Amino acid sequence: MYVYLEKIHTPLTMNHSVKYYPEKRKGVTANVPVMLSVTYSKQRMFYYTGLRCRIGIDSKNSQWDIDKSQLKKNQITPDGLSSQKLNDELNKITVAVADLFTGYDFTNITPTTEKLREDLKRKLGKKIKAIEGEDFFSRFDQYIIGSGLSDNRKRTLQSIVKKIKAYKSDIAFENINLPDFKNYLSENLSRNTTALYLNAFKTFIKYSIKKSYTTVNPFDSFEYAGETYGKPIYLNIAERDILFNATIEDQNLAMIRDIFCLQCFLGCRYGDLMRFTKENINCGVISYIAAKTKNDDLRIANVPLSDKAKQIIGRYNLPDGRLLPLVKLDDCDYYIKKLFRLVGLTRIVTVLDKETLMEKHVAIDTIASTHMARRIFIGGLFKGGVNNEVIGSMSGHVAHSKAISRYYAVDPEQQLAAMKLIE
């Protein structure tokens, strides 16, 4: 379950609760289905998890822990799953449900129980029969809700939907006029925001082709200027260690510090960090398939654990085997800024204003986020002379990724060192 901190940027409009239980059937005790119940907005949705367990005539003889809503420790299910494996599967479903309700809040949807069930199947990768006759915007809503995107990405996509509706409320896959739509965006948005919206729109079109919603990709014959990136800003190693070594009395902030620093030592995306369990660790190396490459160039990232990373992991012994408590991205980003200010990481940096494409000067704490932790990892390795292919093998970037260069910056010390090589 997520750890909900005091500060929530956008309060949830729909509270929901999740409960798992073995479905009791007359005379059946050896192979009982484990069911999910989701309660929300005076509705209740039931869902078969695909998992089974053994129950008894009383709680003592049952594999199921009623109080914890999970399998008891040191059990093996009729399907041969260990308690750890089955409970991990339940936790994945819980996280998927939470992500769906975040998506519903973004799109102002109160789902029917049937829609929630279908969206959950889609979210978990189950095969769903395509719904005939759904319009462009319904397909876009399905994409936002069910494709496992980050909260920030969902906001961007929802903003795009609003822009498209304002531009052409009866748009369909067959009548997309990208040059005209680009001109419409350019009249109201900066070049970078326009490019950001078009990039996300392009991703949705590719998704729609894959799902057979359409066969035509209007982006095949359409070119547009990409985003302009400024110099990436991140902490240097000494500043990172100030944060790592700081004594922090507030337990919430201490937990956020551990999350941020562990991401600094692993270089993974935040979504990947939140799903890591002890099973990802083998012989002192954490291994995982980067979420963003799952449907692209599949690549396993392997990151040797540093002593500092092991120290952070050793602080937590969560019952579901996760390395860290689950914290929503927005909450974590909010508290990281507060954390930087607490330990004095407030130096002034120069960044690119994406609206004006002009430089501006801000305190580093005001732009701190979980994504900065990824830059600290990649930028620190680059400055240490590690080549991009080795960095990518640990950061989860696909081979020869051009995007990796956006995570580091060449500094004067590196330039001077390079010049000494040809003196």
Contact 116/128 with Cβ under 8 angstroms?
Answer: no
Predicted local distance difference test score (pLDDT) of residue 52: 87
Predicted local distance difference test score (pLDDT) of residue 411: 56
Output 148 or 205, whichever has higher pLDDT.
205
The DSSP H or E segment spanning 103 is: helix 83-106
3-state SS, one letter per residue, for 247-295: CCCCHHHHHHHHHHHHHHHHCCCHHHHHHCEHHHEECCEEEEECHHHCC
Predicted local distance difference test score (pLDDT) of residue 221: 87
pLDDT band at 8 (very low <50, low <70, confident <90, very high): very low
Output 34 or 9, whichever has higher pLDDT.
34
CA distances from 75 to 63, 92, 301, 361 (A): 7, 19, 31, 57
> How far is 274 from 268, CA to CA, in rounded Å?
10
Residue where the block lists tokens 């029969």: 129
Predicted local distance difference test score (pLDDT) of residue 402: 55
Output 402 or 43, whichever has higher pLDDT.
43
CATH entry 3.40.190.150 includes domain 237-420: no
CB atoms within 10 A of CB 110: 13
| Range in 194-208, 282-296, 329-343 the model is least confident about | 282-296
CB contact set of 413 (below 8 Å; sequence gap of 6+): 383
SS3 call for 211? coil
Predicted local distance difference test score (pLDDT) of residue 291: 56
Identical fold for domains 136-221 and 237-420, yes or no, is no
Third-level CATH fold of 136-221 = DNA polymerase; domain 1 (1.10.150)
Residue where the block lists tokens 């769906």: 100
Predicted local distance difference test score (pLDDT) of residue 188: 82
pLDDT per residue as tens digits for the range 344-385: 999 999 887 766 767 889 999 999 999 899 888 888 887 777
How far from each other are the two terminal CA atoms of the chain, in whole angstroms?
58
Q: Phi, psi at residue 234, to the nearest 5°?
A: -160, 165
CB contact set of 153 (below 8 Å; sequence gap of 6+): 200
- What ranges do the domains of the chain cover? 2-122, 136-221, 237-420
Q: pTM, whole model, 2 decimals? A: 0.55
